[in-house]
Amino acid sequence: MANYEDIFKKVVAHAKEYGFVFQSSEVYDGLGAVYDYGPYGSELKNNIRTYWWKSMVNMNENIVGIDAAIFMHPTTWKASGHVDAFNDPLIDNKDSKKRYRADVLIEDHTAKIENKIEKEVKKAAKRFGNSFNQEQFINTNPRVLGYKEKISAIMARFSKAMENDDLADIKTQIEELGIVCPVSGTKNWTNVRQFNLMFKTQMGSTADGANDLYLRPETAQGIFVNFLNVQKTARMKIPFGIAQTGKAFRNEIVARQFIFRMREFEQMEMQFFVRPGEEIQWYEHWKDARIKWHHSLGMGEENYRFHDHENLAHYANAACDIEFKFPFGFKELEGIHSRTDFDLKSHQEHAGRKLQYFDPEINESYVPYVVETSIGLDRMFLTILSHAYNEEKVNGDTRLVLNIPAMLAPVKAAVLPLTKKDNMPEKAREILKELQCDFNCQYEEKDSIGKRYRRQDAIGTPFCITVDHQTLEDNTVTVRDRDTMEQSRVSIDKLHSIISKKVDIKNYLQ
């Protein structure tokens, strides 16, 4: 395991050293859980996005794309459930290190008092036998009344504190009630804090009169609110899908594992709208289609697995993850969820507008069910980078190579004059010019040829094209393969097709 961690460390260091990923705002000591993509990183990221887009949107005639804004009407997040689900006041016990929802602690406490009432009732029932009038007892017994008063006093104070955002009072209340941690049994509590999943900001240039907005925590809602727009304008018939890539933001509590978990990240999502009752069949369809997409990259089928969700979210009736074997273990890479009609229905209610589809085949209107595929672009990036990173032994020496799927490689070919003399640089630049238009290429003349090969290996360039003396005579060059290190001599006019053959997306899309 330590070995895996070492490899992961090396991957992270490599990502920085070779301009793939930098820590955000590094000159200011960094910003937690935020990263920037460098020259090669941004190329790789673009290539991954393009591959996804082509295979999802361009290769499926019933899927179209959109690009929705990051800002959305605040009610969107009420409808999606994000506002309510993440307003919980949280408190930690310093001894057990356990975190609790403050409202749950207080509710548990009142539940205990309720139990006491029940006990009183049972006792009384025994005592009075058949003549026992439970209702009367509860309304008159001084002890029971005392308990009830206690409960309502607690709840009243708690609600008031919540309304006023008086977190300090909630803590005081927990202390005064003598609530102890169920694990450690102590009253050693931290302050009550609220963790917001969503980033809040303001729209409007003046502070007063500005509206609170959120940076979207998921891209899906941009698709749902545009459901009718897209369906009508692109004349889509169910079943059909809407895809989009874009940034999403989450105020997570801590940062871990490099770009695996970021506050600002990019999603590649597709929401597929289907007839109610057919969602599970489509869910299976997309599970299959998506795992095939992953396998198409040739990074080892054994490195992927499905993980079915046991606890389904409020909106889902089936859900699974595709997990990839990262250096730190199998982790979620993509989610496939059958989201039912929850989202569209909820928007329908909150917006007061019908979000329905008239299905001419069955002559009926309904709110479509949705099957979602949602993959993290940054996670996909990490998948590729960590899988591609290899240290090979070559003649007692270590070769560091990124075996990135050729189609995704940031640079497809490097054109290298063997020496800086005898017109070789000029010839090499001629070749570069020829290839540049179709492939991202590099020209390099510094250092020994071997050194240049290794530098290209380190950024995952599939081809190195070397111009030598013979080139000037017969227009042939050597082409060196990244993965095998083998060289072959080919004529310059074959270069285009040799590179194409390996890097064309067509070879990967089935």
Interface segment toward RNA; rule CB under 7 A; list 12-20, 153-161, 228-236, 352-360? 12-20
Q: CA 371, CA 337: separation in Å to the nearest integer?
A: 6
Pick the closer one to RNA by CB: 340 or 466: 466
How does DSSP assign 223-263, residue by residue?
HHTTHHHHHHHTT--SSEEEEEEEEEE---S---TGGGS-S
Single out the residue of 126, 127, 393, 420 in contact with RNA (rule: CB under 7 A).
420
486 binds RNA (CB under 7 A): yes
Beta carbon of residue 26, minimum distance to RNA (angstroms, whole number): 8
Pick the closer one to RNA by CB: 173 or 478: 478
What percent helix, strand, coil does the chain show, rounded to 5? 45, 25, 30
Beta carbon of residue 31, minimum distance to RNA (angstroms, whole number): 6
Interface segment toward RNA; rule CB under 7 A; list 145-153, 199-207, 239-247, 477-485? 477-485
Question: Sign of dihedral through CA atoms 286, 292, 296, 302?
Answer: positive
Interface segment toward RNA; rule CB under 7 A; list 64-72, 112-120, 146-154, 255-263? 255-263
Are the C-beta atoms of 86 and 253 separated by less than 8 Å? no
246 binds RNA (CB under 7 A): no
447 binds RNA (CB under 7 A): yes
Interface segment toward RNA; rule CB under 7 A; list 148-156, 201-209, 353-361, 440-448? 440-448
Q: Where are the alpha helices (DSSP H) in 389-483?
A: 424-436, 449-459, 469-474
Collapsing DSSP to helix, strand or coil, 391 comes out as strand
Single out the residue of 270, 414, 418, 428 in contact with RNA (rule: CB under 7 A).
418
Instruction: Count the site residues for RNA by CB under 7 A.
Output: 61
Beta carbon of residue 448, minimum distance to RNA (angstroms, whole number): 5
CB count within 10 Å of CB 46 equals 15
Single out the residue of 46, 172, 257, 348 in contact with RNA (rule: CB under 7 A).
257
Are the C-beta atoms of 176 and 161 separated by less than 8 Å? no
User: Which residue pairs from 490-497 have beta carbons closer than 8 angstroms and sit at least 24 positions apart in sequence?
Assistant: 492/431, 492/434, 495/413, 495/431, 495/434, 495/435, 495/465, 496/434, 496/435, 496/438
Beta carbon of residue 435, minimum distance to RNA (angstroms, whole number): 17
Beta carbon of residue 276, minimum distance to RNA (angstroms, whole number): 21
Interaction mask 143-182, RNA, x per CB under 7 A: ----------------------------------------
Collapsing DSSP to helix, strand or coil, 386 comes out as helix
Interaction mask 189-228, RNA, x per CB under 7 A: -x----x---------------------xx-x--------
307 binds RNA (CB under 7 A): no
Compute the CA torsion angle 163, 166, 167, 168 (nearest 10 deg).
-150
7 binds RNA (CB under 7 A): no
Phi-psi region of 340 (alpha: psi -120 to 50; beta: other; left: phi over 0): left
Residue 390 structure tokens: 């290899």
**Beta strand segments in 107-221, E:** 193-194, 199-203, 211-215
Q: CA 269, CA 53: separation in Å to the nearest integer?
A: 10
Single out the residue of 120, 166, 169, 252 in contact with RNA (rule: CB under 7 A).
252
Beta carbon of residue 466, minimum distance to RNA (angstroms, whole number): 4
Pick the closer one to RNA by CB: 121 or 312: 312
Q: CA 278, CA 239: separation in Å to the nearest integer?
A: 10
Q: CA 411, CA 442: separation in Å to the nearest integer?
A: 7
Are the C-beta atoms of 290 and 324 separated by less than 8 Å? no
Residue 207 structure tokens: 């502070």
393 binds RNA (CB under 7 A): no
Site for RNA in 490-509 (CB under 7 A): none
Single out the residue of 98, 123, 143, 237 in contact with RNA (rule: CB under 7 A).
98
Contact positions toward RNA, by CB under 7 A? Answer: 13, 16-17, 23, 29-33, 82, 85, 92, 94, 97-99, 190, 195, 217-218, 220, 250, 252-258, 261, 313-315, 328, 335, 337, 374, 394-395, 397-399, 418-421, 446-451, 453-454, 466, 468, 478, 480, 485-487
